[in-house]
Chain A
Amino acid sequence: MRRTFGHIFMALSGLVLALPIIVVAGASLNGGRTMLFPPEDPNFARFVEFFITETIWVRALRNSLIVAFGSATLAVLLAWPLAYLLWAKGSKASKVLAGLGSLPFALPPIVFGVGLGFMWAFVGSLGAIWVGIVSHATLFLALPLVTISIGLQSIDRAHLDAAATMGATEVVTFRTVILPQTLPYSISGFFFALVLSFNEFIVMFFVSASAYATVTLQIFNSLRNGYTPTMAVAAVLFITVSIAVFSAVARWGDLPRLMGADQSRN
C-alpha cells in the first residue's frame, strides 16, 4: 500500500516535471506563427526555419556552440590546476582561491553579469565573442572544479605510493596514474559546464552588448514580443542535447556517485 503510494507520488512528480517540456515540444509543431497547444496544422516547417532558412537562428546557434564548447574547455583547463592544488596541498590559500572561483556560480548571475559588463567595458573588448567565452568559463568554473575534486579524491593512495616506490617522477605519476583515473570526472565537468553555458543568457546579455546573440539570448531579447513556435524548436533541441549529454555521463561515468551518493551501499 505504502509502496504503491510512493510510486504514484514519484510518477506524479515526474509528470509535472515533464509537463512544460511536453507542451513546448507540442507547440514547436505549430504550422502557424502562434504558440498554440495542442498545435494547429502540425508540421515540421518551424524546424526547417530554425536550422536552415532563418539566418538569425542559424547564426545564434553557431554562436551558442562556439561559446559553449570554448567556455567549457577553458573552465576545465582553469579548474584542473586549481583542483590539483587543492588536493595535493590543501593549503589555506588554495581553499580561499577555490572559494573565490566558485563565487560567480553561487551569487545571483545578474550581479555578476552587471559587473562583467563594467569590467569588459574598461578593458575595451565588450562585445567580442572571446569575452563571452571567458565570462562563461568563469561563471561555470565551479562545476569542473567540483567533479575533478571528486575524481582526485577517489584515487587510491596505494597507487601513488607504488608509483613513488618504483621511482616514478612527478610527471610520470601524473600521466600514468592521476590523469587516467580522473579523466571521466574531467569529462563530466566539461559536459556540465557545456550544457549550462548553452542555456545561460543573463550574463551573456551583459557581456555581448548586442554585438552578437546566442540562442537563449536571442529568445530573451525577443521576449517582449511574445514567444513563437520557432523558439519552441530551440527548446526541443536544447532538452534533447541535455538528455543526450547526461545519458552519456550516466553511461560512462558514475552519475549517482558524482551527485554524492554513498559508495558503500549499492
Chain B
Amino acid sequence: MTAVDSTKAEMTAPVPQMRRPWGTWALGALILFLAVTPFILVIVISFGQKIEGAGWEWDFTLANYQRFFVGALWPDEVTFLHLQRLYYALYYAVIASVLAVATAFPFTYLLTRQSRRAQSCWLVFILASLSLSEVFIVMGWDVLLSNRSGLPMLFEVSGATDWLKRTGWFEVLREWGLANPRNVKFKTSEFATILTMSYLVWPYAVILLYPALSRLDPSLTEAARTMGAGPTKVMTSVILPTVKLPLIGSTLLLFVFLLGSYVTVVVFAEPAKQTTAVAVYESVRGATLDAPFGAAQAVVLLVTAALFLVLAQFLTKRSEAR
C-alpha cells in the first residue's frame, strides 16, 4: 500500500483510516507466516524422501504420490490400499453429512419459528454440544454402543434380542455385521462410525442452516397457504427451492469437516476400513515414521477438501447473489 493509495482511500471511504502502512504489512506477514507456511511445508515435504532409520531429506520425487495411488512396487505390482482409505474417508463423510443435514433441516426450521428467548436457550445447548471435543463425544457413544453396557445390554435385558431372534431379524443383523452369535453388537461397525460422525456435525448443521432459515420470509409461506397449498406443497414448492443452495453448501462444509475426523474412525471403524486421516497420523507420528509419505497423504486430503470447499463457496456466492 503506497501513500498515494491510502490518501485516495481516505477521500472516498466515510470511515476512519489506518495511517500506518507498515503496521498493515507486519500484520499481513505475520498472518501469512502462521496460517499459510504450515500448508506450504506439507506440500514441499510431500516430495521429500525417507531415510531408513533416521528421518527424511529434501528431494523432488513423486515416489510418495506413486505409492499412494498405485503402490510402492508399481509397475510390478499394483495395490490400491491407500486409495481405499481415501474411499472410506469419503464414504463415511458423505453419508454422515447428508444424514446430519437431512435431520437438522426440519429441526432448524422449527427452531426459527420459536420465540427469540427459546431460540437463545436452544442455541446455547447446541453450541455447547458443538464445541464438545471429539474425544468426549466418542467416549459417550463408546459407552452407549459397547457390548458390556449401553444399548446391547438394553436389548438383552428388555428381551428385544429374543424378539429379534424369534422373528428372524437377528440373522439379517448378523449379515450386516451388527450382531455376534449371542447378542447385537455395534462396535466395531460402519453403523457406529457413521452414527457418531453424523452426531459430531449435527450441531454444525443447525448453526449453518440457521441464518438461511431464519431469514425465510414468513409471508411467502402464508401466501402459499392462503392460496390453498397443503403443508407438503408449501415445503416442496416454496421453502425447499429458497434454501436449496444453503442446504447443499452446508452439506459440503460438513463433509470437508468429517474428512479429517480421527478419533471416531480409530475407535468405531473396523481395522480394514480406516481412513486417510488415520494413515497420516500413523505415518507422521505413529509406528511407521515416514514424514514425507504422511505429508503426501495429507496433501491428497488437502486437495480433496479444498475442491469441495471451493464448490461450497461458489454455491454460497450464488445463493447470496439471488
CB atoms of A256 and B123 under 8 A apart: yes
**A-B contact list, 17 entries, CB within 8 Å:** A14-B122, A19-B144, A20-B143, A21-B129, A23-B140, A82-B27, A111-B42, A114-B280, A114-B294, A115-B40, A118-B291, A198-B131, A201-B133, A219-B136, A232-B139, A250-B120, A260-B210
Interface flag for B172 (CB, 8 Å): no
Interface flag for A167 (CB, 8 Å): no
CB atoms of A259 and B211 under 8 A apart: yes
Interface flag for B201 (CB, 8 Å): no
Q: Which residue of A lies closest to B144 (CB)?
A: A23
CB atoms of B116 and A114 under 8 A apart: no
Interface residues on chain B, size class: 35 or more
Bound-state Cα–Cα, A133 to B277, Å: 24
Bound-state Cα–Cα, A216 to B23, Å: 36
CB atoms of B45 and A118 under 8 A apart: yes
Which chain A residues border B30 with CB–CB below 8 Å? Answer: 78
Which chain A residues border B127 with CB–CB below 8 Å? Answer: 242, 246
Bound-state Cα–Cα, A118 to B42, Å: 8
CB atoms of B38 and A255 under 8 A apart: no
- Shortest Cβ distance from A83 into chain B, in angstroms? 11
Bound-state Cα–Cα, A264 to B28, Å: 36
Interface flag for A72 (CB, 8 Å): no
CB atoms of B14 and A84 under 8 A apart: no
CB atoms of B107 and A262 under 8 A apart: no
- Shortest Cβ distance from B99 into chain A, in angstroms? 12
- Shortest Cβ distance from B206 into chain A, in angstroms? 9
CB atoms of B259 and A108 under 8 A apart: yes
Interface flag for B321 (CB, 8 Å): no
Which chain B residues border A24 with CB–CB below 8 Å? Answer: 136, 139-140, 143
CB atoms of A200 and B13 under 8 A apart: no
Which chain B residues border A178 with CB–CB below 8 Å? Answer: 16
Bound-state Cα–Cα, A37 to B295, Å: 41
Which chain A residues border B28 with CB–CB below 8 Å? Answer: 93, 97
CB atoms of B42 and A78 under 8 A apart: no
Which chain B residues border A157 with CB–CB below 8 Å? Answer: 14-15
Instruction: Name which of B42, B231, B284 has the most chain A CB atoms within 10 A of its CB.
Output: B42
Contact mask for chain B residues 98-121; partner A; CB cutoff 8 A; 1 contact, 0 none: 000001001100111000100111
Q: Which residue of B lies closest to A240 (CB)?
A: B128
Bound-state Cα–Cα, A206 to B260, Å: 15
Count contacts between A and B, CB distance < 8 Å.
Answer: 267
Interface flag for B302 (CB, 8 Å): yes
Which chain A residues border B1 with CB–CB below 8 Å? Answer: 91, 93
CB atoms of A219 and B135 under 8 A apart: yes
CB atoms of B119 and A110 under 8 A apart: no
Which A146-197 residues have C-beta < 8 A from chain B?
A: 157, 160-161, 170, 173-174, 178, 192, 195-196
CB atoms of B131 and A199 under 8 A apart: yes
CB atoms of B13 and A89 under 8 A apart: yes
CB atoms of B132 and A21 under 8 A apart: yes
Interface size on A, residues (CB 8 A): 94
- Shortest Cβ distance from A157 into chain B, in angstroms? 6
CB atoms of A239 and B128 under 8 A apart: yes
CB atoms of A37 and B214 under 8 A apart: no
**Interface of chain B: mostly helix, strand, loop or mixed:** helix
CB atoms of A103 and B143 under 8 A apart: no
CB atoms of A17 and B125 under 8 A apart: yes
Contacting chain A: which of B77-85, B163-171, B173-181, B262-270?
B262-270
Which chain B residues border A246 with CB–CB below 8 Å? Answer: 123-124, 127-128
Interface flag for A51 (CB, 8 Å): no
CB atoms of A88 and B15 under 8 A apart: yes
CB within 8 Å for A256 and B120 given contacts A88-B15, A138-B34, A238-B136: yes
Contact mask for chain A residues 230-266; partner B; CB cutoff 8 A; 1 contact, 0 none: 0110110011001100110110000110011110011
Interface flag for B182 (CB, 8 Å): no
CB within 8 Å for A13 and B103 given contacts A21-B140, A100-B31, A261-B210: yes
CB within 8 Å for A114 and B298 given contacts A238-B132, A238-B133: yes
CB atoms of A108 and B256 under 8 A apart: yes
Instruction: Name which of B38, B40, B122 has the most chain A CB atoms within 10 A of its CB.
Output: B38
Interface flag for B73 (CB, 8 Å): no
Which chain A residues border B126 with CB–CB below 8 Å? Answer: 17
Q: Which residue of A lies closest to B32 (CB)?
A: A100
CB atoms of B120 and A110 under 8 A apart: no
- Shortest Cβ distance from A130 into chain B, in angstroms? 13
Contact mask for chain B residues 223-239; partner A; CB cutoff 8 A; 1 contact, 0 none: 00000000100000000
CB atoms of B34 and A106 under 8 A apart: no
Which chain B residues border A216 with CB–CB below 8 Å? Answer: 133, 135-136
Bound-state Cα–Cα, A234 to B203, Å: 21
- Shortest Cβ distance from A31 into chain B, in angstroms? 15
- Shortest Cβ distance from B82 into chain A, in angstroms? 15
Bound-state Cα–Cα, A187 to B133, Å: 22
Which chain B residues border A78 with CB–CB below 8 Å? Answer: 27, 30-31
